[in-house]
Amino acid sequence: MTDTKRIVLSSDHAAIALRQQIARHIEAKGWEAVDIGPTSPESTHYPLHGEAAAQKVASGDCRFGIILCGTGQGIMMAANKVKGIRCGVCADEFSARMIRAHNDAQMLSIGERVVGPGLALAIVDAFLETEFEGGRHGTRVDMIKAMED
Ligand code: RB5
């Protein structure tokens, strides 16, 4: 695990404004936002952006990743194809806490067309403020990791 304060952010065209708002929000909280775009509103392909963000987390360059698309679903599916990555879609704060506490997720996905900006920022805070609990949850996360080998 890396102790960097860097958080990678990415999205497809459907979530650029919310992604940039989240970047400003986490910077204000003392994190370093590594926003890898895109910035153009032209239609693009979410797998490209999910994979690019996940690689930055898997390599240790960034501690966490926050990714967005219209639903949060497609970009999450792409990120989870990168070895070592655990990414969950969250539309509520409870789930955002639980994917850290129980699943040791390093990446959070949000659907811009699903949640409003106020809730999205609260979801981000819940995710970033929660530590992994380990113990029996560590055993289960290890079982997920074993599937990758
Ligand atoms: C783009 O229209 C939309 O399909 C995408 O943002 C996302 O919701 C896919 O899962």
Q: List domains and CATH numbers for the chain.
A: 6-147 (3.40.1400.10)
Distance of alpha carbon 67 from alpha carbon 9, whole angstroms: 6
Name every residue whose Cβ is closer than 8 Å to that of residue 123 and which is 6 or more positions away in sequence.
90, 91, 92, 93, 96, 108, 110, 115
Residue 52 — very low, low, confident or very high, per pLDDT cuts 50/70/90? very high
- Give tens-digit pLDDT for 69-78: 999 999 999 9
Q: Atom of ligand 1 at shortest distance to CA of 113? A: 8
Question: Strand, helix or coil at 62?
Answer: coil
Residue 3 — very low, low, confident or very high, per pLDDT cuts 50/70/90? confident
* Residue 87 Cα to ligand 1 middle (Å): 17
DSSP state, residue 135: T
**For this structure, is 69 an active site residue?**
yes
| Binding site membership of 12 for ligand 1 (Cβ less than 6 Å) | yes
pLDDT recorded at residue 2 = 66
Name every residue whose Cβ is closer than 8 Å to that of residue 44 and which is 6 or more positions away in sequence.
12, 13, 38
